[in-house]
Amino acid sequence: MKPGDKFATILVPNATLQSLYDDLDTGEAQKMPLFSLASVNPDHGMYIGQLADIDGSGNAFIYEDMNFMNSDRDYNDFIFQIAGAEVCLPLLDDLIDPAKDWRNIGGVAEDISEHIGTAVKPDTLRMSVSLEGSRADLVLYDSQGRFCGKDGVSIPGAAFYPDENGHRSLFLNVPDQGKYRIVLLGAKDETLSCTVRGHRGETEILSEETKSIRINAHRVLRAEVSVSSDGKGMEIAVGEFETPVSEDGKLLYYDFDGDGKTDDSDIGKVSSRWNAVEGDEDYDPFYDLDEDGYIGILDIMPAVSSKSVP
C-alpha cells in the first residue's frame, strides 16, 4: 500500500467470502457480511460499535460478529492486528458489557497484550524458516513449548504461511537470545530444502543457512536452533536434522512434536483425526501410518504403544 491509501474490512461470520458468493449466485443467501463502513451495512447502520480498539494502542481490534444493533456486546469473536496504518475506533472499555468482559478471565488479557506488543518495527529482529517444494509439514517450537505451524500459532508475533506449491514459511520476532526446535513431519519419501534466516525488520537479511534433508514418509525429524544477538547483528546456529531420541538414546519415531518423549500430546495429534478419510478437511497423510486412506485404530496404536513410561 502507498501512503495515504484507505481501506476497509469485511467479516463474514461463520463462513467464507466464497460461500457467501455461492449463496448469492443460487438465490439462497443465508449469511450476512459485516463491514467497517456504515454505507454498506444493512440499513446504513453506523459502524461505530461493530469494531473496537482493544487497548487504545491503535493497532489491535476486535469485531463483534453480530450486527451491532442486535449485538450481545460480548466482543469475544475475532481479534486482528494492523500495523503501519492509522485507525480511529472507540475503546473496548466503552462498549463491552461488563458482565461479559472476557478480560477478567485469568491470563487472557496478558496473553493478548503480549501478542499486541509484537508489532514489527524497522529495527525488530526476526527469524524465518522456509521449507520449499515439499509435502512435509513444518512446525517451530520455542523453549516454552509454544508453537507455530499449520495447526495454529501460540508464539506471540509469529505467523505461518503455506502456499499451493508446497512451500511453508514461518516468521517470528526473536529476543536477544533463545532456543527453538524445528520439527519436520514427512508425508512421503523426499529430499527437502530448509532455509533459516535472520532479519532486521521486514526486509533486511542478517544471516542465512540452508540445509538439504532426506526424510521418509511418516517420519519425524527435528533440529535445534540457537539465536543470539547484540542488538545490532544476529547469529543463528542450526543443528542437524535427526530423528528425536529419548534421554537414554532410544529413537522416538512417534514423538510428533520432537520434545524427547512420546506422550499424550503426541497421541492426541493422531487421535484427533480419528475416522478422517482421504479428502476430508482433517485428513493428514502423515498420520495415516498404514496408508489405507483412513485414520483409525491401526494408525493410533503405534503411538500409544510407544508412549514413554516415567
Residue 249 falls inside a structural domain:
no
pLDDT of residue 119: 67
Residue 220 belongs to domain with CATH number: 2.60.60
Q: Do 158 and 202 form a contact (C-beta atoms < 8 A)?
A: no
Which of 27-31, 72-76, 230-234 has the highest average model confidence (pLDDT)? Answer: 72-76
Do residues 141 and 214 both lie within one domain? yes
Q: d(Cα 154, Cα 172) in Å, to the nearest integer?
A: 11
pLDDT in tens, 195-229: 999 998 877 899 999 999 999 999 999 999 999 88
Q: d(Cα 116, Cα 111) in Å, to the nearest integer?
A: 9
User: pLDDT grade, residue 30 (50/70/90)?
Assistant: low
DSSP β-bridge partners for residue 207: 198
Percentage of the residues of the chain whose pLDDT score is greater than 70: 92
Do residues 108 and 133 both lie within one domain? no
Say if residue 26's pLDDT is above 70. Answer: no
Give me the residue label for grid cell 529430499: 191
Do residues 71 and 35 both lie within one domain? yes
Q: d(Cα 180, Cα 201) in Å, to the nearest integer?
A: 20
Residue 253 falls inside a structural domain:
no
Range(s) of the domain holding residue 86: 10-116
pLDDT of residue 27: 52
Say if residue 45's pLDDT is above 50. Answer: no
Do residues 101 and 185 both lie within one domain? no
For the residues 272-293, what does the mean pLDDT come to?
A: 94
Q: Which residues contact 13 (CB under 8 A, 6 or more apart)?
A: 31, 32, 34, 65, 66, 77
Residue 257 falls inside a structural domain:
no
Domain boundary among 82, 116, 150: 116
DSSP state of 10: E
Q: Which residues contact 141 (CB under 8 A, 6 or more apart)?
A: 147, 180, 181, 183, 257, 258, 259
Cell of 291: 496408508
Do residues 216 and 151 both lie within one domain? yes
What are residue 62's phi and psi, to 5 degrees? -130, 135
Residue 104 falls inside a structural domain:
yes
For the residues 289-310, what does the mean pLDDT come to?
A: 90
Domain boundary among 116, 135, 159: 116
Report the Cα 86 to chain-centroid distance in Å: 25
Do residues 149 and 234 both lie within one domain? yes
Say if residue 298's pLDDT is above 70. Answer: yes
DSSP state of 257: T
Higher pLDDT, 33 or 247: 247
Among 84-88, 157-161, 187-191, 288-292, name the one with the lowest average pLDDT: 84-88
pLDDT in tens, 57-68: 788 899 888 777
Do residues 18 and 47 both lie within one domain? yes
Collapsed DSSP state (helix, strand, coil) of residue 261: coil
Do residues 38 and 110 both lie within one domain? yes
Q: Do 75 and 54 form a contact (C-beta atoms < 8 A)?
A: no
DSSP state of 3: T
DSSP β-bridge partners for residue 237: 226
Say if residue 254's pLDDT is above 90. Answer: yes
Q: d(Cα 139, Cα 149) in Å, to the nearest integer?
A: 5
pLDDT in tens, 71-94: 888 888 888 888 778 888 889 999
The region that residue 292 occupies, defined by phi over 0 for left and psi between -120 and 50 for alpha, beta otherwise, is alpha
Do residues 146 and 67 both lie within one domain? no
Q: Which residues contact 183 (CB under 8 A, 6 or more apart)?
A: 138, 139, 140, 141, 220, 221, 222, 256, 257, 258
* Average per-residue pLDDT for the chain: 86
Say if residue 44's pLDDT is above 50. Answer: no
Do residues 106 and 73 both lie within one domain? yes
Residue 250 falls inside a structural domain:
no
Considering its fold, how many domains does the chain have in total? 3
Residue 247 falls inside a structural domain:
no
pLDDT of residue 56: 84
Say if residue 28's pLDDT is above 80. Answer: no
Cell of 179: 532456543
Residue 254 falls inside a structural domain:
no
Do residues 185 and 214 both lie within one domain? yes
Q: Do 136 and 99 form a contact (C-beta atoms < 8 A)?
A: no
Q: In sequence order, which ranges of the chain are alpha helices (DSSP H)?
A: 17-26, 108-116, 264-271, 297-305
Domain boundary among 116, 133, 168: 116
Do residues 142 and 217 both lie within one domain? yes
Say if residue 55's pLDDT is above 70. Answer: yes
User: pLDDT grade, residue 305 (50/70/90)?
Assistant: very high
Residue 246 falls inside a structural domain:
no
Q: How many Cβ atoms are within 10 Å of 235's Cβ, its own excluded?
A: 13
